[in-house]
Homo-oligomer: A and B are copies of this chain.
């Protein structure tokens, strides 16, 4: 009993980019936000939640995910109704893993009620805006080497090309990582993917949305930035009109 007095919820504001499209936020997430007492997250996401009486906002900086997760657990243990907000699905390169990591370090909090509320992750919104490039087998790779060694990223890119997966690339390029995406394009060219179709989906679902599709050999590193999700098609991916899609059938 009283388990609902002690809960933390990890949720997704189902946005692809800032500012996102509220029409992609699930009713489950909206209900969680409406009954929360505390919102914890990266400042630009927290400020998307409408202020109201009884709701405390806890914005934090980028790259402090573990501390933020610990703060959320501590608040929940005090009996608060906490929602940790992410952009897109909280389970994909977002806050859910950080919350469980913090939980592992704090066994006294393992009886808290935790719910991960799924959302529309960036690659799905990006794919929908371009057609159906994820209609056949695919993989998702985070191109940031902040939390893993770069050679592992290169290995995965080569194996993904060999497996003929479509490849969704999160965090392709940032000011602090200007060169990784250029190297990514080189590796895929070396792996024989020069004729594959690449989708650059920038700021999907916002007024700034821009979708560019080119063959990989014509792709330039500067086509991607922090707000871009990149999808490399598989070898059968094709165009019809302005759309790009992966055929269901492969022989």
Contacts and interface: CB of A to CB of B under 8 A. Distances in A.
B26 A248 contact: no
B14 A23 contact: no
Instruction: Categorize the interface residue count of chain A.
Output: 35 or more
Contact of A26 (B25, B103, B114, B159): B25
B110 A118 contact: no
A179 interface: no
A31 B89 CA distance: 21
Nearest to A120: B118
Contact of A142 (B99, B120, B137, B156): B137
Given A91-B135, A139-B139, A140-B137, A100 B23 contact: no
A193 interface: no
A138 B117 CA distance: 19
A54 interface: no
Nearest to A14: B26
B141 A137 contact: yes
Interface string A116-145: 111111001101110111111111111000
Given A140-B137, A160-B163, A26 B28 contact: no
B92 A135 contact: yes
Contact of A92 (B65, B134, B249): B134
A159 B22 CA distance: 38
Given A26-B14, A132-B116, A147-B250, A241 B141 contact: no
A135 B26 contact: no
A241 B156 contact: no
A29 to B, nearest CB: 9
A240 interface: yes
12 contacts: A14-B26, A23-B27, A24-B27, A92-B134, A96-B132, A99-B132, A137-B141, A147-B248, A148-B251, A149-B250, A149-B251, A152-B250
Given A96-B131, A101-B247, 20 more contacts: A14-B26, A21-B28, A23-B27, A23-B28, A24-B26, A24-B27, A25-B26, A97-B247, A98-B248, A99-B132, A100-B132, A100-B243, A101-B245, A101-B248, A104-B238, A110-B241, A118-B124, A136-B142, A147-B248, A159-B160
